[in-house]
């Protein structure tokens, strides 16, 4: 999957705080299972993530399927 490599936060997040980080991603065109992992970096440059030790990456998993649109293209009127 592809996405932007670096996102800079526009505000400070306190320890234990929460923030939503939108990530626009583009799924691969080939069917299959895909996974992406990220670590965060603090202002000092140290990496951190999730879990009790904050050393596990954030992860997203998706499945891409092939959809047969021949029925739609044959029987549906685009007008």
pLDDT per residue as tens digits for the range 14-67: 888 888 888 888 888 899 999 989 898 888 889 999 899 999 999 999 999 988
User: Does residue 32 fall inside a structural domain?
Assistant: yes
Where residue 4 falls among pLDDT bands split at 50, 70, 90? low
Number of domains in the chain: 1
The label of the residue with tokens 């670096």 reads 6
As a whole number of angstroms, the distance between CA 77 and CA 39 comes to 47
Domain boundaries, position 65: 2-12+28-75
**What pLDDT does 1 receive?**
63
**What pLDDT does 30 receive?**
92
User: Does residue 58 fall inside a structural domain?
Assistant: yes
Where residue 78 falls among pLDDT bands split at 50, 70, 90? low
Contact call for residues 64 and 31 (beta carbons, < 8 A): yes
User: Does residue 50 fall inside a structural domain?
Assistant: yes
User: Does residue 21 fall inside a structural domain?
Assistant: no
């Amino acid at each position: 999957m592809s996405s932007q490599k670096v996102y800079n936060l526009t505000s400070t997040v306190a320890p234990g705080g929460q923030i939503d980080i939108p990530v626009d991603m583009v799924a691969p065109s080939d069917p299959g299972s895909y996974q992406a992992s990220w670590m965060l970096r603090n202002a000092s440059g140290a990496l951190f993530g999730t879990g009790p030790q904050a050393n596990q990456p954030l992860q997203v998993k998706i499945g891409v399927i092939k959809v047969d649109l021949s029925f739609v293209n044959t029987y549906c009127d685009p007008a």
